[in-house]
Amino acid sequence: MSLPIPTWETPFGIQLWPIFDFVASKLSQGKFVPSEFLFINGVTPLSTFPEAAVIIVIYYIVIFGGRFVISTLNLPVIKLNGLFQIHNLFLTSLSLTLLILILEQIIPIFHSGGSYYSICSPNAYTSKLVVLYYLNYITKFIELIDTVFLVLRQKKLTFLHTYHHGATAWLCYTQLTGYTSVQWVPITLNLAVHVVMYWYYFLAARGIRVWWKEWVTRFQIIQFIIDLGVVYYSTFTHFVYKYSGKMRDCSGTETAAVVGCLILTSYLILFISFYITVYKKSGNASKKVKKA
């Protein structure tokens, strides 16, 4: 029996989508069939602005309200370490699954159409990718539970953490409803980073120390640099086409383009600041202590 050989059309040697379609259909008892899924604004769950906004607002009420209640009543620390491990292992597996499925779809598109086609052509916004983009969007609400664990453990809530979780859910919503073909770039990079990040959290919860902790933040910074290069290009291309007609258009709404540029830019600035504060300044401080 010969092993499956990867090709540009089947990057992993076999077609994974039919397997995903079958498994998802069976697990949901026919309520969610990926091959039959249609994202319709106002019909699909969490497809409208009020729905997404309400959940994000509830998220902030729960975490800040919960922290206030815990500190006011002087409640004990609730670790829930076993549940925390399951949460991180689940998100590691989910991120890896979505990453592989999106790569299976986008690699043939990129190979046959080229870089411009894959990030700007409306034809690159396929029905299968929409399913995966929607599932990725849903995971951003599941990831909000990260902060609930921090609150229960009475850990410090940083601006970066709380802002990043709420803004990412909002970012994914704008790109999904804005029909941007370019969104596969930040989504795949984000999923790749999350595979590493949630795996690190899982290991840390088990008491396993790893040498590559600092690289999690480095990967996030590299991710945003690449994201901004591609997103700035696609946004620039669209507006040049709109006002001068000298370049080819790039698909997607202008709202999605502007929101994407603003949020990703803020991420890069905040994560670089975080990296300098946590790793560089603390490293310099420890060196001074050793010298003393």
Active-site positions?
164
Which of 81, 289, 96 shows the shortest CA–CA distance to 203? 81
CA angle at 141 for the pair 262 and 90, rounded to the nearest 5°: 120
Residues 61 and 67: their CA atoms lie apart, in Å, by: 10
- Alpha-carbon Rg for the chain, nearest whole angstrom, is 21
Residue 178, phi then psi, degrees to nearest 5: -95, 0
Task: Determine contact, residues 84/91, Cβ cutoff 8 Å.
Answer: no
Q: Which letter, b or e, does each residue of 85-109 get, where b requires 16 or more Cβ atoms within 10 Å of its Cβ?
A: bebbbebbebbbbbbebbbbbbbbb
